[in-house]
Amino acid sequence: MDKKDILLLIDKAIDASKFSHSPYSNFKVGAALKTKEGRIYTGCNIENASFGLTICAERTAIFKAISEGEHDFAAIAVYADTGANLISPCGACRQIISEFCPNAEVIMCNGEKNYRIMTPGQLLPFSFGDKDLKKPTIG
């Protein structure tokens, strides 16, 4: 992706963060997922009083896209106004990104629009996947 496309995706993630439902943490996160065809799906974090039921912005965007029939992703931008610190996906989101967006660029950005791009493999080098569900053959 070129810089113009990256900044557009970041802007979409920033816009998505405005819809965050985060009354407990007040930590607003937005994500924007771009398909290989150029469609963009956004998501925000949605908290619940039963904290384990909270969903992150990245998973919201990915599940939204998959529920619309999408499966080929080019990039996902994750944004939070964290000052100079870049936000990175949590462990659960790294697993979901690894499975559903294995070839996508992961753009982590902050409130100053600084960003860093990594691959899912760099974020989660020993991910669990369908290969781990297959029983080894004996013989």
The closest alpha carbon to 18, from 5, 31, 35, 9, belongs to: 31
DSSP string of 18-85, one letter each residue: TT-B-TTT---EEEEEEETTS-EEEEE-B--SSGGG-B-HHHHHHHHHHHTT---EEEEEEEE--TTS
Q: Active-site residues: which are they?
A: 58
Please say whether the beta carbons of 88 and 97 come within 8 A: no
Interaxial angle between packed helices 3-17 and 57-67, expressed in degrees from 0 to 180 and rounded to the nearest 10: 100
Task: Name the amino acid, one letter, at 35.
Answer: T
